[in-house]
């Protein structure tokens, strides 16, 4: 059982929905980024998605693209991202960390070496948005053999013919992207999301977490109420981009988490 599996079992026993927060590793700089990540669990974050900066983030909107660029400008690398996770683990051995990004930096490092280093750093799962199920032998299967969850994205365009393929070899949870398009582009709707979540849950026992388009505690509650939890990314990254203090950022995250946990 991974930390992700254990967290969902714990939440289910408590009758609570999950709140997942995404931040870009190294944004706005390494020191402040680590301070934010360390404070997330205390703000009510159940699972941390740690963005891996990349030069060509094709699935991301301007907010997360710019966050990745800020991180890269401050010298953030795959190794420093793993170092950040390892540093976090010194004080927290229970909160799951999902590394989210693109395959190129992992491929460049070498899959075998990456997996050894990622497990050692305390990474629990991977979301690699540019690796489709047809490429499972590249990273998905080796990652699961190494003890990590491999989390797949489903979208409004994932039809009933495609869905079984997407769910094959997926573990940890399914990340349902509530809108078509790039991150940070539009607001999610509980009414639209509910039937899609039900459709996915009819095909899998995995928790379904919904992200994209959640910016307020009320919206976090609305979306979490029709799923197993919600993810907030661009809205948190935007707070960081505005130069707000760690305390201000964490207060915002705590309000979102409270909304999700009210569902």
List the catalytic residues. Answer: 49, 60
Q: Which residue has the tokens 């078509």?
A: 180
Angle in degrees, 0-180, between the axes of helices 30-39 and 78-89, rounded to the nearest 10:
40
Report which secondary-structure segment, H or E, holds 59. Answer: none
DSSP assignment of 116-166 equals HHHHHHT--EEEETT--GGGTTTTHHHHHHTT-EE-EEE-TT--TTTHHHH
DSSP assignment of 67-126 equals HHHHHHHTT--HHHHHHHHHHHHTT-SSS-EEEEE-HHHHHHH-HHHHHHHHHHHT--EE
């Amino acid at each position: 059982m991974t930390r992700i599996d254990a967290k969902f079992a714990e939440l289910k026993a408590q009758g609570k929905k999950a709140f997942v927060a995404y931040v870009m590793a190294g944004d706005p700089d390494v020191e402040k980024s680590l301070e934010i990540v360390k404070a997330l669990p205390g703000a009510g974050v159940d699972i941390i998605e740690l963005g891996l900066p990349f030069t060509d983030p094709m699935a991301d909107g301007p907010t997360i693209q710019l966050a990745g660029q800020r991180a890269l400008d401050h010298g953030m690398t795959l190794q420093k991202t793993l170092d950040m996770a390892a540093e976090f683990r010194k004080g927290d051995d229970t909160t799951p960390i999902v590394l989210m990004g693109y395959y190129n930096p992992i491929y460049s490092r070498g899959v075998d070496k990456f997996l050894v280093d990622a497990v050692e750093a305390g990474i629990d799962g991977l979301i690699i948005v540019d690796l489709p199920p047809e490429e499972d032998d590249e990273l998905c299967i080796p990652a699961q053999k190494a003890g990590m969850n491999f989390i797949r994205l489903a979208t409004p365009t994932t039809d009933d013919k495609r869905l079984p393929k997407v769910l094959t070899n997926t573990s940890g949870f399914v990340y349902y992207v509530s809108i078509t398009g790039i991150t940070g582009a539009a607001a999610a709707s509980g009414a639209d999301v509910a039937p899609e979540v039900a459709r996915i849950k009819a095909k899998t026992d995995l928790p379904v977490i919904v992200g994209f388009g959640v910016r307020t505690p009320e919206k976090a509650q609305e979306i979490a109420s029709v799923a197993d939890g919600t993810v907030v990314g661009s809205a948190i990254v935007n707070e960081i981009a505005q130069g707000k203090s760690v305390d201000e950022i964490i207060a915002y995250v705590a309000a979102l988490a409270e909304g999700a946990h009210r569902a």
